[in-house]
Amino acid sequence: MSLGTNDPIARAHELISNTEEAPSLQELAQEVGLSAGHLQRRFRARYGMSPAELAASRRLARLKTALRESPSVTDAVYAAGFGSGSRVYEKSDTLLGMTPADYRRGGAGATLRYTTLATPLGELLVAATERGICAILIGASEDELLTELAHEFPAAQRERVDAGRDEWLARVIAEVHANLGWSDATDATDTPLPPFDLRATAFQWRVWQALTRIPRGETRSYSAIAEAIGSPRAVRAVARACATNRLAIMVPCHRVVREDGTLGGYRWGLSRKQRLLAREAEVAPRAI
């Protein structure tokens, strides 16, 4: 159902969403009757991203679908609205984390190294590609976690590494332990964290970065995070970004609660969220 023309910002969103070749900011502004600067500011405040960022995310979604369904990479690139295959390959690391051909094969040729260990929250899995850490997941069993890991790249090779036998994985596990007070891990925390290999929109990155600034033992509301990233009306988009976080504990989406203080949602279950917050309240440094 059309949102109509009475709301120029919603109309701009509709125009971007329903066209393969997104209009320029100037064209969009002229279409909805606003100045380009005014449209840009109001659009970002409502949706948490610029018109250009929304258009890019829509096109990336079309590319992922086309790579799985089209007879060739070239067909997929043009079906998604990219005018040049070279542009996709130049940005493939940022867009997909691998080349379009590798993504089309479901990650065939890529290797995910992972380890699992038992924690008070259940089984914890940490996984990395050759570029960096790609997932920190919590679940009831290793099988459940591997199913989740395989969802994005079903054809990627998965190589189990004994806990502590991989420098990147061991460093992240030590950080998780230290964050929750499960061990001292003081020596390990002097070592810089490894890079991360995550595919995300600019808005998701802004939300996740804001989450890492919430002190241990404290919480913030979804609306407070939206305010912190300069998009006060994008509360629902903040909640979606929290739900798509794949770095449990390291990106502490468990520290975001509803305005009234109730827990809200959590990708890995509300009981785990409650236990995480209780544990952090116990071990958080207290002001003297």
Q: Smallest Cα–Cα separation from 198: which of 63, 80, 96, 62?
A: 96
Give a yes or no: residue 197 inside a domain. Answer: no
- Using CA atoms, how far residue 240 sits from 15, 157, 178, 208, 237, in Å, is 22, 29, 28, 11, 5
Give a yes or no: residue 128 inside a domain. Answer: yes
Give a yes or no: residue 171 inside a domain. Answer: yes
- Same domain as 88, residue 15: yes
Q: Smallest Cα–Cα separation from 181: which of 121, 221, 255?
A: 121
pTM of the predicted structure, to 2 decimals? 0.64
Amino acid at 110: A
CA contacts within 13 A on the Cβ side of 158: 23
Q: Which residue in this structure is represented by tokens 């808005």?
A: 203
Q: What CATH number is given to the structural domain containing 127? A: 3.30.160.70
Give a yes or no: residue 288 inside a domain. Answer: no
Domain boundary among 75, 104, 133: 104
Q: What CATH number is given to the structural domain containing 66? A: 1.10.10.60
pLDDT at site 60: 67
pLDDT tens-digit profile, the chain (288 residues): 344 457 889 889 888 877 767 788 898 999 899 999 999 888 888 877 788 878 777 766 666 665 555 545 455 544 445 544 444 444 444 444 545 455 545 555 568 889 998 888 999 999 988 778 888 999 999 999 999 888 866 777 889 998 667 888 888 888 888 777 666 544 444 566 778 877 777 788 889 989 999 998 899 999 999 999 888 888 988 999 999 898 999 899 999 999 999 999 999 999 999 999 998 888 776 544
pLDDT at site 71: 46
Domain range for residue 15? Answer: 8-104
pLDDT at site 78: 43
pLDDT at site 243: 92
* Active-site amino acid positions: 253
